[in-house]
């Protein structure tokens, strides 16, 4: 039987550093749990542009289509700010999402007990927080046509089109309802049906899918701006939040800060099933390339490690090992081990990126 295949794309900035710590976990699973992966590595973002003149080479794209899962670090940085829009590092990530048809973006916002004091909200509002945001990822205003900057009456006009088809809404709604069945059986769908026709269609289709196949799941609807307000007022009222591409981008970053640090948050982008029944998938930490600390061994690798845990769960049918890895991260946080983004004046042991990775491995050893 072939080993599951994994393509690693460290990318730019701290991507290289955090991915090195994931490599330790992959090696540990092979040595201690006899869970081996066929791992390959390639370039994306600015790193790919430096070599190929494009943020994603066609060969890399083809490889991403052929593996069981892709794990990405981060893309972008000030070095590339003046590039033409078509070859900016972020275009490589968008191409992966679009051509792999990764329509369902899973963004968990979980507040570990040890980090409840790090949130900008009161501890009682976020302690025990566990939300899953399901964001549509391959349509909406980021991909709709027409788009661009045009001249009308000698003035520049910027245009982006919010466009959704019934099928695009249907499939991401099903993804959210299936996720809710694995959790607390509640979905809140967020849009702007009060002012946007695409929002009216979104609400109609979600309601129809619910009535047809998911009536056992509790469904509610909320305008996205009200949803943002409720996220910072009483976030624990939510279980699964279903929303479109633009609002999902905004709402998931809002939810991210409830947990205390972007350095702790993973994500998964899932598509249609492949021949083996597993969905096409890309996993990545929510944080960016953090050029201000890149190359200084200060990054928090936890989000990237937890992204790999999501890969274990959703791509490799290794839920028990995902639980083990997530528990190891939570345990070392409970022991006060902290990278710089998590340090407070009231104590904790400051560690580097590599030391955080080593601590995770030690904790994994303790589970055996």
Q: What is the pLDDT of residues 150-184, one digit of tens each?
A: 999 999 999 999 999 999 999 999 999 999 999 99
Domain ranges of the chain: 1-107+262-368, 130-258
Residue owning tokens 């560690």:
351
Split at pLDDT 50, 70, 90, the class of 264 is: confident
- Which value, to the nearest 10 degrees, does the dihedral of the CA atoms of residues 283, 318, 301, 90 take? -10
103-133 pLDDT per residue, tens? 999 999 988 888 888 787 888 889 889 999 9
286-311 pLDDT per residue, tens? 888 999 999 999 999 999 999 999 99
Which CATH architecture group holds 130-258?
A: 3-Layer(aba) Sandwich (3.40)
Per-residue pLDDT, 273: 81
Is the pLDDT at 277 greater than 80? The verdict is no
Per-residue pLDDT, 344: 66
Which CATH architecture group holds 1-107+262-368?
A: 3-Layer(aba) Sandwich (3.40)
State how far the Cα of 42 lies from the Cα of 10, in Å rounded to an integer.
8
40-63 pLDDT per residue, tens? 999 999 999 999 999 999 999 999
State how far the Cα of 82 lies from the Cα of 94, in Å rounded to an integer.
18
Query: What residues act catalytically?
Result: 142, 192, 225, 249, 253
Q: What are phi and psi of 45, to 5 degrees?
A: 75, -140
Identical fold between 1-107+262-368 and 130-258: yes
Average pLDDT, the chain: 94
29 or 350: which carries more pLDDT confidence?
29
Could you count the other beta carbons within 10 Å of the beta carbon of residue 152? 8
State how far the Cα of 19 lies from the Cα of 14, in Å rounded to an integer.
8
- Count H helices and E strands in the chain, helices first: 12, 14
| Cα angle, residue 189 at apex, residues 185 and 190 outer, rounded to 5° | 150
179-218 pLDDT per residue, tens? 999 999 999 999 999 999 999 999 999 999 999 999 999 9
Per-residue pLDDT, 115: 83
> Mapping DSSP to helix (H, G, I), strand (E, B) and coil, where does residue 290 land?
coil
Per-residue pLDDT, 298: 95
Per-residue pLDDT, 113: 83
Note the pTM of the prediction, 2 decimals.
0.90
For residue 211, give both structure tokens: 């009535």
Provide the angle, in degrees to the nearest 10, between the axes of the packed helices 302-314 and 15-32.
50
């Amino acid at each position: 039987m072939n080993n599951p295949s994994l393509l690693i794309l460290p990318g730019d900035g701290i991507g290289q550093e955090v991915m090195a710590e994931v490599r330790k976990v992959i090696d540990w699973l092979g040595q201690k749990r006899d869970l081996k992966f066929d791992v390959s590595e390639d370039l994306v973002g600015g790193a790919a542009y430096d070599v190929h003149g494009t943020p994603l080479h066609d060969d890399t794209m083809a490889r991403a289509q052929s593996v069981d899962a892709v794990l990405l670090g981060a893309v972008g940085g000030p070095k590339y700010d003046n590039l033409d829009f078509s070859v900016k590092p972020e275009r490589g990530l968008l191409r992966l999402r679009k051509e792999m048809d990764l329509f369902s973006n899973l963004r968990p916002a979980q507040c570990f007990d040890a980090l409840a004091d790090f949130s900008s909200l009161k501890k009682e509002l976020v302690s025990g927080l566990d939300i899953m945001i399901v964001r549509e990822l391959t349509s909406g205003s980021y991909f709709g046509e027409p788009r661009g900057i045009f001249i009308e009456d000698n003035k520049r006009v910027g245009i982006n089109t919010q466009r959704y088809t019934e099928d695009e809404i249907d499939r991401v709604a099903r993804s959210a309802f299936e996720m809710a069945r694995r959790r607390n059986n509640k979905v809140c769908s967020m849009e702007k049906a009060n002012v946007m026709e695409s929002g009216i269609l979104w609400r109609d289709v979600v309601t129809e899918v619910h009535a047809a196949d998911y009536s056992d799941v509790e469904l509610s609807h909320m305008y996205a701006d009200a949803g943002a307000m409720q996220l910072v007022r009483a976030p624990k009222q939510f279980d699964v939040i279903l929303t479109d591409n633009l609002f999902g981008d905004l709402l998931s970053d809002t939810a991210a800060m409830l947990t205390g640090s972007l350095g702790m948050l993973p994500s998964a982008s899932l598509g249609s099933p492949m021949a083996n029944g597993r969905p096409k998938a890309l996993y990545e930490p929510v944080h960016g390339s953090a050029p201000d600390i890149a190359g200084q061994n200060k990054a928090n690798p936890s989000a990237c490690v937890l992204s790999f845990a999501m890969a274990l769960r959703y791509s490799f049918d290794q839920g028990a090992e995902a639980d083990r890895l997530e528990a190891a991260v939570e345990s070392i946080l409970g022991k006060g081990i902290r990278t710089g983004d998590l340090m407070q004046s009231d104590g904790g042991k400051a560690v580097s990126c590599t030391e955080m990775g080593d601590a995770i491995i030690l904790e994994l050893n303790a589970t055996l």
